[in-house]
Amino acid sequence: MIKDIDHILIARGAISDRVRSLGEEITKDLKDVGEHEIALVAVMTGSLIFVADLMRHLPMKIQIQLMTSSSYIGKSTKSNNDPMLGKLPDVKGMHVLLVDDILDSGRTLTKIRSELEALQPKSIQSCVLLRKKLDSAMNVPCEYAGFDIEDEFVVGYGLDYDGYYRNLPDIAVICP
């Protein structure tokens, strides 16, 4: 497994520190939202580890709702043009915190936000662990971003290549 890794981009300690501070920012911003009104919508499977760690830093009453999305097919490091979404959660009348692993082309987050907005939530905020320094990503509404990174294909901490490497505790760049 290590032979496929070019280098560690973000070490586990830095990830842990940033996830904690994201939790503090979100908690501060949502402090006045009433009980039973917050839905954390996790985009699986890439955000699995990030969501698990982040929600431990959100000391409020929240619902966890899951949805799936796929924008990579097979052994590709290039996103396809139309992300496929799974079943949307019921978020009508709720404040939604949409959590995903990475914002790169912006197509997935834009499509999910649009679909969720049609379900009439009170509000939607997005949180991503990684945001690529691309115009397409930087121009997508995203209230919380853990790290801004260069346009490299990364794995680890839930992110994968062909279903592998999600279990790495650091975020690493895969060999070209």
DSSP 123: E
Q: Per-residue b/e over 144-164, b at no fewer than 16 CB within 10 Å?
A: bbbbebeeebbbbbbbbbeee
Give SS3 for 59. Answer: coil
Helices (H) and strands (E) in the chain, counts: 4, 9
Catalytic residues, by residue number, are: 104
> Is-contact 40 97, C-beta < 8 A?
yes
